[in-house]
Amino acid sequence: MQLLAFVLIYPFLWIVSILPHPLFYGLSDIACFFIYRVFGYRRKVVQENLNLVFPEKPKEEIHRIEKEFYKHLCDMFLEMVKTMNLSKASVAKKYQVVNPEVLLDIEKERSIIILCAHFANWEWNVSINNYVNSKGYAVYQKVNNAYFDQFVRKVRARWNTTLITQAQTAKTVIKNYRDNVRATYGMVSDQSPQAHKAHYWTDFMGVTVPIFIGGETLARKTGLATVFLKVSKVKRGHYKAEFIPIAINSKETEEHEITNKFLRLTEEQILEQPQFYLWTHKRWKHRGKKPAAFAEVT
């Protein structure tokens, strides 16, 4: 069944990936109509999230952000398909890295962990490996269909990226550290960990929730540099990426210092362009569940 699904779906995806700009985003508009207006995909979740983190905004503003978010969401998922036939030169035009020298300077001395959020187009974030000299890794969610998973790995490998699962991340980082292999790791770090497994709770967008600290833990243990990847959407299909150093030697930071800086930078990014954050994600689902044991330590 997995092979049959791949054989049936792949040709359609390939055709979509080569559509000219007007048809490509016209298809996105059609998809948005059905996803937002007809099916209302996770609309209650989006509205709940927006009202929770922006209690001061009027209903009209919340509604505007909601509509623009769904339009962007459809664009982004189709742009993921576009990756199939997107050359290195083309992605450099659509996803402009404004200060690659930040990474190039740091990687002369040590490996780097790049922390980013589910913002703008995180699929094209892996193209930053075209700008570094060290080996590039990206932490990803394995696709259930083995054929599509292999396909995703192949596509992203064109941009000098080796995909690793979350379960493989610690082992890979520590092995490279011990073998003195210079590497750059990309990690989306605004996920919501399971409440009972969380080691840190703090405010994110004004709401106390469990926080994922895997990136900081690895960085502090191995002394890697930690860098925040800030992405802005310039216009439809075009993005700007900027690297903001958080810590050059993460061993020298205090506990949770890296995580807190990452959260503040992510909040700034969201406040600048709120319509481009992943509001369908149940990021605040564990609010109000903070265990008493964390009351004094956080």
Could you read off the pLDDT of 250-297 as tens digits, one per residue?
999 999 999 999 999 999 999 999 999 999 999 999 998 888 766 544
Residue 196 pLDDT grade (very low, low, confident, very high; cuts 50, 70, 90): confident
Please count the CA atoms within 13 angstroms of the CA of 50 that sit on its side-chain side. Answer: 28
Residue-level pLDDT at 293: 67
Q: How many CB atoms sit inside 10 A of residue 168's CB?
A: 13
**Non-local CB neighbours of 163 within 8 Å, separated by 6+ positions:** 137, 138, 139, 140, 152, 153, 156, 157
Average pLDDT on 156-178 reads 90
pLDDT in tens, 36-84: 999 999 999 999 999 999 999 999 999 999 999 999 999 999 999 999 9
DSSP state of 273: S
Q: 238 or 148: which carries more pLDDT confidence?
A: 238
For 246-255, letters b (16+ CB in 10 Å) and e give bbbebeebee
Q: Which pair of tokens denotes residue 191?
A: 């996920």
Residue-level pLDDT at 298: 45
Residue-level pLDDT at 271: 98
pLDDT in tens, 245-256: 999 999 999 999
How far apart are the C-alpha atoms of 129 and 158, rounded to whole Å? 10
pLDDT value at 12 more than 70: yes
Residue-level pLDDT at 6: 87
Q: What is the 3-state secondary structure (H, E, C) of 50-103?
A: HHHHCCCCCHHHHHHHHHHHHHHHHHHHHHHHHHHHCCHHHHHHHEEECCCHHH
Q: Which pair of tokens denotes residue 73?
A: 């969401």
pTM exceeds 0.85 for this model: yes
Residue-level pLDDT at 55: 97
pLDDT in tens, 199-212: 899 999 999 999 99
Cα dihedral sign for 267, 269, 270, 272?
positive
How far apart are the C-alpha atoms of 56 and 261, rounded to whole Å? 24
Residue-level pLDDT at 295: 58
Q: 158 or 138: which carries more pLDDT confidence?
A: 138
